[in-house]
Structure 1
Amino acid sequence: MTQPLRIIFAGTPDFAARHLQALINSEHQVVGVYSQPDRPAGRGKKLKASEVKELALAHDLPVFQPPSLKSDDALTELNSLNADIMIVVAYGLILPKAILSAPRLGCLNVHGSILPRWRGAAPIQRAIWAGDSQTGVTIMQMDEGLDTGDMLHISRCDISADETSASLYTKLAELGPDALITTINKLAKNELTPEPQNDELANYAKKLSKEEANIDWSMSAQQIERNIRAFNPWPVCFTQMGENTVKIYKANVVELTGTAGQILSSDKHGVIVACGEQALCITQLQPQGKKPMAINDFLNGRSDWVTPGTQLGEINE
C-alpha cells in the first residue's frame, strides 16, 4: 500500500452510505463528507438527515451540506480540506468544472451500469426495462458531461429472469463498494489506465414517472412484464379495473392471444390479460388501501373485478 489518499466523499442515500462505510473501513482517510441538505420526511414532515450524513456523524467526520457547489465560497471550503480525490456516489447535485478539478486526482463517480450502456438518472431500472441480461458498476473519472468520463474499473453481475429494481439495487450496492476500494488502491499506486467511452454505444436512462407506470396493454406481454419488475419498488405498475386502480407486482408471460387489455381467464393460478403480443398472467397485485396480495387473497370478495371479458385500463371511445 502506498501513501493513503485524503478523500472527500459526496453522496446522499443508502446506496452512497454503503460506499462511504467501505472508505471508512479502508486505509484511506475521509477528510470531509458532502450530502444534500436535510429534507422533510414522514407524516410530521420533520427534517431528516440523509443516510450518508448520519453515518458520517456517527464516525465524527466533518459534514458539509451546501445547497449548491457553484459559489466561490463552496469552492474555497472544499479546497480547504486539501483532498487528493473526491468520490461522488448518488450525491444529487451538479459539480461545476472548478469542483471537478479541485482535488489533485479529480473526482470519481460510482455509476450503476456498465458504461456507456446506461448514462443518466435511472440506470438500474432501465437495464431491467430494456431486457438486459447483465449490468454492473462502473467507476469513472468525472468530467463536465453526463456520465461521459473515462472508465477506470468495471464490475459485472447478471440480471436474473425475476429481477426487480429493488433486488438489482441490492446486488449493485454490494458490488460497488469493493469495486471502489479496488479502484482507489490501484489509483494510489498509479496502476490504472483510463478507458474512453464509446459515445455511439450510449443510451440515456431517463427518470421513471408515474405516468410511465400506467400499463399500456397494447404493448407486448414481455415488455409489460419487464416494466412490472423495473418499476418495483417505485413507481409500481398499475391499471384500472373498472373504477378501481390496482397496482401489479408480479406477472409472467403466457402463450395466449386476445383483445389487448381484456381479461381472458381468472382463477387461483392468476388473472390472464391479453396484450398487444401474447398475454400476461398476474399473480400478485394490490388494491387501493390494501397491502400487496397473492391472487387467491385478491379473488376473495373481488372476483367480480376480474370477470373474463372485462376490459382493463383506460378505454378510449
Structure 2
Amino acid sequence: MDKIKVIFCGTPQIGADILTALTEMSNVEIVLVISQSDRPVGRKKELKTTPVKEVAIQNNLNIIQPIKISEAYEQIAQIKCDFIVTCAYGQFVPTKILELPKIDSINIHGSLLPKYRGGAPIQYAIKNGDSKTGISIMKMVKKMDAGDYYIQESIAIEDHDDTGSMFEKLAILGKKMIKENLIKIYNNELVPIAQDEDKVTFSKNITTEEERINWNDSAINIWNHVRSLSPWPIAHTFKGEERYKIQKVKVLDSSDLTKAPGTIIDINQNGIIVQTKDKQIEILLIQKPGKKMIEASSYKLHSLSDLKVGDYFE
C-alpha cells in the first residue's frame, strides 16, 4: 500500500512526542508540520523554538508557523494528505482546513472524553483528585473537542504524580495508541463513538488568579491544586505584597484549628508547616520573587528567611 500521508499540527513536548511516533511509522509520510510561532521566554526574552519544530528540523520535515492557521489555508490545501493529526496545537483549526484530508482530521486529546474538553485536561484531572485519566483519539469538528472518538485508553494518576509526570505518561500512551490505530482508522476498522453530551465537562485554560492557593480549602484540595500546577505554571501565595511560588507540598495528620488558615505553624528541618481549613500542609519547595526554587527544609540557610512562625499567607 502507499504510505499514509499526514499533516501534523502541534506545539509543546507532548505534541513533539506524537510527531516522533509518526516519524517512526514506516507506513506514514509526514507531508507538512504546522506549529505555533516561536516565542520569547525568560527574563532575556530569548526566542525559543517549539518542541514540535525541533522534531521537524531533526527529521528534515517541511514546517510552517502561521500566526493564524487560517492564513495558511491555500498553502495547506495544495498538499494532498490522508489525515490531519493534531496534538496540543493551541489554535482552533477552521472547518475548511479540517475538511481537506482524504480520510479524516483527528486529534489526540489528553482526557477520557466527554470529560475535560478544553485546553487543560491533565491539570483539571489532578486538581479534582481523579484516580485516572487517559487519551482519546477523536474526530475533529468545529465545536471544541466535541467530535466522535475512535478509541480511548485510561491510565492511573498516582499520588506521586503531578502535571509534568502525567504529561510524560500520556505522551507514551498517545505514541502507542497512534501507532496501533492510525492504520485501523485508515482502513475503516474503527467505528467512531458519539460522546455523551450529558456527561460533558470543561477544562478551560488556567488563569493567573486560579493559580493562587486558597488556604481556607482542605489540605487534600491544596495538595491536588499544587501538584496540578507543577512544574508549570506553579501555584503561588502571598505574604503581604510578596508572592511566593510553591511547587511541592505534603499533607500532614497534624492540625491546630485555633490558628487561622494560612498561618505558619513551624519552620524546621523538614519544611514550612502551614495550617489549612482542616489539616496542616508541609511546604517542600518554595520560591521567593527574584530567587531560585529551593527546598523549604533549608529555608533558614537562605536569604529567604523573612518568613517567621506566626506569619500567615493570605
AA partner of residue 18 (structure 1)? D
Alpha-carbon RMSD? 2.0
Unaligned runs of 5+ in 1: none
Look up the match of 1:58.
Answer: 58
SS in 1 for 2:284: strand
Please list, as runs of the form range in 1=range in 2, the aligned pairs for 1:193-232 lying within 5 A after superposition. Answer: 193-232=191-230
Take 1:237 and 1:85, find their aligned partners in 2: how far apart are those partners? 38
Runs of 4 or more off by more than 6 Å in structure 1?
Answer: none
TM-score (norm 2): 0.91
Look up the match of 1:24.
Answer: 23
Take 1:257 and 1:200, find their aligned partners in 2: how far apart are those partners? 42
SS in 1 for 2:286: strand
2:271 corresponds to 1:273: no
Look up the match of 1:10.
Answer: 9
SS in 1 for 2:9: strand
Return the offset for 1:124: 0.9
AA partner of residue 108 (structure 2)? V
AA partner of residue 34 (structure 1)? I
Please list, as runs of the form range in 1=range in 2, the aligned pairs for 1:142-161 lying within 5 A after superposition. Answer: 142-161=140-159
SS in 1 for 2:307: helix
Look up the match of 1:88.
Answer: 86
Unaligned runs of 5+ in 2: none
Return the offset for 1:46: 5.0
Return the offset for 1:28: 1.0
Take 2:135 and 2:13, find their aligned partners in 1: how far apart are those partners? 16
Return the offset for 1:188: 2.3
- Identify if the C-alpha distance between structure 1 residues 271 and 97 changes in structure 2 by more than 3 Å, giving closer, same or farther: same
Take 1:91 and 1:304, find their aligned partners in 2: how far apart are those partners? 42
8 Å CA contact retained: 2:286, 2:295: yes
- Identify if the C-alpha distance between structure 1 residues 243 and 56 changes in structure 2 by more than 3 Å, giving closer, same or farther: closer
- Identify if the C-alpha distance between structure 1 residues 235 and 133 changes in structure 2 by more than 3 Å, giving closer, same or farther: same
8 Å CA contact retained: 2:136, 2:150: yes
8 Å CA contact retained: 1:129, 1:223: yes
Look up the match of 1:264.
Answer: 265
Take 1:42 and 1:263, find their aligned partners in 2: how far apart are those partners? 31
Take 1:221 and 1:129, find their aligned partners in 2: how far apart are those partners? 12
8 Å CA contact retained: 1:272, 1:280: yes
Report Cα offsets for 1:164-197 as digits up to 9, x if no partner. 1111111111111111121202112221011111
My pick for the range that moved more, 258-267 or 169-178, is 258-267
Query: Across the two proteins, how many residue pairs are aligned to each other?
Result: 309
Report Cα offsets for 1:17-39 as digits up to 9, x if no partner. 11111111102111111122333
Please list, as runs of the form range in 1=range in 2, the aligned pairs for 1:179-194 lying within 5 A after superposition. Answer: 179-194=177-192
AA partner of residue 273 (structure 1)? V
AA partner of residue 273 (structure 2)? I
- Identify if the C-alpha distance between structure 1 residues 237 and 180 changes in structure 2 by more than 3 Å, giving closer, same or farther: same
SS in 1 for 2:170: helix
Take 2:297 and 2:38, find their aligned partners in 1: how far apart are those partners? 43
Take 1:63 and 1:31, find their aligned partners in 2: how far apart are those partners? 9
2:100 corresponds to 1:99: no
TM-score (norm 1): 0.90
8 Å CA contact retained: 2:230, 2:248: no
